[in-house]
Amino acid sequence: MATSSPLDRADLRHRVSTALRDCLARQRPRLDAISPNLRPLVDALTAFLLDGGKRLRPAFAYWGWRGAGGRDSDEIVTAVSALEWVQACALIHDDVMDGSDTRRGQPAMHRRFATLHRGSDWLGDADGFGTAMAILLGDVCLIWADEVLNTSGLPTEALLRGQPVYDEMRTEIMAGQYLDVLGQVTGDDSVADAMTVVRYKSAKYTVERPLHLGAALAGGPPELMAAYSEYGLPVGEAFQLRDDVLGVFGDPAETGKPAGDDLREGKRTVLVAKTLERATAAQTAHMRQHLGDPELDDAGIAELREVIAASGALAETEKLIAELTDRALAALDVDCLDPESADVLRELAIAATARRV
Amino acid sequence: MATSSPLDRADLRHRVSTALRDCLARQRPRLDAISPNLRPLVDALTAFLLDGGKRLRPAFAYWGWRGAGGRDSDEIVTAVSALEWVQACALIHDDVMDGSDTRRGQPAMHRRFATLHRGSDWLGDADGFGTAMAILLGDVCLIWADEVLNTSGLPTEALLRGQPVYDEMRTEIMAGQYLDVLGQVTGDDSVADAMTVVRYKSAKYTVERPLHLGAALAGGPPELMAAYSEYGLPVGEAFQLRDDVLGVFGDPAETGKPAGDDLREGKRTVLVAKTLERATAAQTAHMRQHLGDPELDDAGIAELREVIAASGALAETEKLIAELTDRALAALDVDCLDPESADVLRELAIAATARRV
């Protein structure tokens, strides 16, 4: 295994993938026993889960555990792999809600099943079938997440400590997604509301709660929980702001999505909110007119990029990312945190927020 | 409280509604603290969960517990109310998948949010917004189901015994729904495949697994589990066959759906499969042509009803319902089952499968 990335420390990505593969291997015969017609369900989830995701949430949860003094074991790796199942649900359902065509360079789940329908001479509407199947497969992921966590082999008392954090995290991600969808339709432009979405949909869900989950499973002290919040929230916000920048300026080869796709989808990111706050009246009018136009061509994307850069929003966002990252790194200087874990969390903060455009 | 129905024994429906109300009362301030914009989410779930459903699954789980010697307590009522949250997810997501306009006489969840969008001068597509919100609210229900079960106050060892049954049940309902959606698009007409859907989507999910969950929570013996299967599967199948008959011949005042709506939706029920198996070539052709036509008017519905009755499928289905109910009742004659619970399960079997057309 490569160990150049903090995500590969303790062979983590590889071991999480193995845990996911093991879960799928257990589910396949179980569903086969119900009906062989369920095979496309497991095939689709296998392709989705084993496509080489970064395993960022399991990494934060694992190092949250290690940071609290938890020892490395296959059980903790299995337990944190549950977060990839939660994330699979979130992504599959998000793609339906956003009408996204692709995910990590592959067709989105609803498109995959719509294509299956079109190639099969079936009855009814192919897109409706794709949507139905994506809803169901997301539900299955959410259910299997619990099963993976509960059957991970961790002691019952550890699981009982983790449960409230896990529950909190799942409600927060759905709340964040609700506010995000609502923001798209109300056309809410404020930086404050965009930051609320970032906090719940990304910062808490991607970083703070996984760390808390790992720490709770390990029985970490309250001061470590507090340190994880002080580290996790800014690094999670910075991570999402970096994602916003990549969604507009990023290289399709890296993002797995067409260039500027966030602009075509009309995502009300903090970057966009900052642009609208600072731009001239003419620039604002131009932005509002073209943002969310699915037909926006490369020239149109380039014009919006120019507005975002010229308004100063891009520079301000880069500055904010740097400040948040610094604040996160400072929070790791606490005695209750295991030193190796502090090192990895430092590397993760830098890797997840580094400038790549 | 009325006690004429087995569902009202031990004031059960009332107490389950109270547990649901308590859960909503805890969730409301929690979401309010995230953002006041989340109020419509809780309002919509409140309207949906407290609309006077029959609470059939909690009833089977409660009497499954009592039948295994578990004592009445508020904790067990709270625990079994989790099944209403699972069911809310299934219904909200099903209605999106089926494109249903109504649920129990009220607008389906996606329609409710589409209407909110239309009345609010918001951006984007109202139906897409309705679908997105219904997906999210279903996810929230699935998440809160676990939270309700885990925080019910039942002892940890009881919850640990219940968890595998709960996991099994949730995977089965999704598998059943997958096969159902697949059957609609492949136009599969066979009675055997329709019965597989009935078994997983209804018999196991509505009756057998709730009984098993109650028994597992109470630590019931294997022979009771077996008796619950021998009772639960036939009664659950009979219950679904009754529902199929009501979906075609039922009174809208009772079903809460327009008369014959299952025919407009093209549901491949056992009743329809039996009709196609027995009808003349001309009747079959007529059926295949009109089944699933959303524009089907009352005269068209009446014609399809005539085909179903004339083919003998209706009479055969009624006979099957009666046989299944008898078989279920016979399974209750076991020593390991508490006598009061046996009485209630007997009444539930009759009430859930009785002829009402």
Along the 357 residues of chain B, how does pLDDT read in single tens digits?
Answer: 445 788 889 899 999 999 999 999 999 999 999 999 999 999 999 999 998 788 999 999 999 999 999 999 999 999 999 999 999 999 999 999 988 888 888 899 999 999 999 999 898 899 999 999 999 999 999 999 999 999 999 999 999 999 999 999 999 999 999 999 998 888 777 888 888 889 998 899 999 999 999 999 999 999 999 999 999 999 999 999 999 999 999 888 877 777 788 898 888 889 999 999 999 999 999 998 998 888 999 999 999 999 999 999 999 999 999 999 999 999 999 999 999 999 999 999 999 898 775
Residues of A in contact with B143 (CB under 8 A): 142, 167, 170-171, 174
Which whole-number Å values give the CA distances from A101 to A153, B57, B156, in the listed order?
Answer: 38, 38, 44
Q: What is the pLDDT of residue A53?
A: 85
Mean pLDDT of A116-122: 93
- Residues A13-41 have pLDDT tens digits of 999 999 999 999 999 999 999 999 999 99
CB contacts, 8 Å: B184 with chain A: 123-124
Token pair belonging to B55: 């609470």
What is the rounded CA–CA span in Å between residue A241 and residue A198? Answer: 8
Residue appearing with tokens 């850069």: A309
Environment class of A14 (CB within 10 Å of its CB; exposed 0-12, middle 13-18, buried 19+): middle
Query: Which helix (H) or strand (E) element contains residue B17?
Result: helix B12-34
- Comparing CB atoms, the residue among A140, A175, A182 nearest residue B34 is A175
- What average pLDDT does the structure give for chain A? 93
Asked if A99 and B128 come within 8 Å (Cβ–Cβ), the reply is yes
Instruction: Name which of A40, A56, A58 is nearest A48 in CA terms.
Output: A40
pLDDT value for A274: 94
Contact call for A97 and B182, based on CB within 8 A = no
Torsion angle defined by CA atoms of residues A44, A49, A52 and A54, in that order, rounded to the nearest 10 degrees: 150
Contact A93 B136 (CB under 8 A): yes
Query: How large is the ipTM?
Result: 0.92
What part of B 200-229 touches A (C-beta under 8 Å)? Answer: 200
Q: Give the nearest partner residue to A123 out of B135, B147, B187, using CB atoms.
A: B187
Q: What is the pLDDT of residues A239-287, one digit of tens each?
A: 999 999 999 998 888 777 777 888 988 888 899 999 999 999 999 999 9
> What does the pLDDT read at residue A268?
82
Residues of chain B with C-beta less than 8 angstroms from the C-beta of A93: 135-136, 139
Rounded CA separation B306/B296 (Å): 15
Which has the closest alpha carbon to A143: B236, B162, B99, B89? B89
Reported as a single tens digit per residue, the pLDDT across A125-140 is 999 999 999 999 999 9
In this structure, the number of other CB atoms found within 10 A of the CB of residue A85 comes to: 23
Question: Among the residues of chain A, which ranges form H helices?
Answer: 12-34, 39-49, 56-67, 74-98, 109-118, 126-150, 156-186, 191-197, 209-218, 222-249, 252-255, 261-265, 270-278, 281-290, 298-310, 313-330, 339-353
Q: With an 8 Å Cβ cutoff, are B146 and A156 in contact?
A: no
B329/A contact by beta carbon, under 8 A: no
Q: How many CA atoms lie within 13 A of A27 on its CB side?
A: 29
Is A262 exposed, middle or buried, given 0-12, 13-18 or 19+ CB atoms closer than 10 A?
buried
Confidence check: pLDDT of A303 > 70: yes
**Nearest Cα residue to B153 out of B274, B43, B19, B8:** B19
Q: Closest Cα partner for A140 from A28, A51, A62, A56?
A: A28
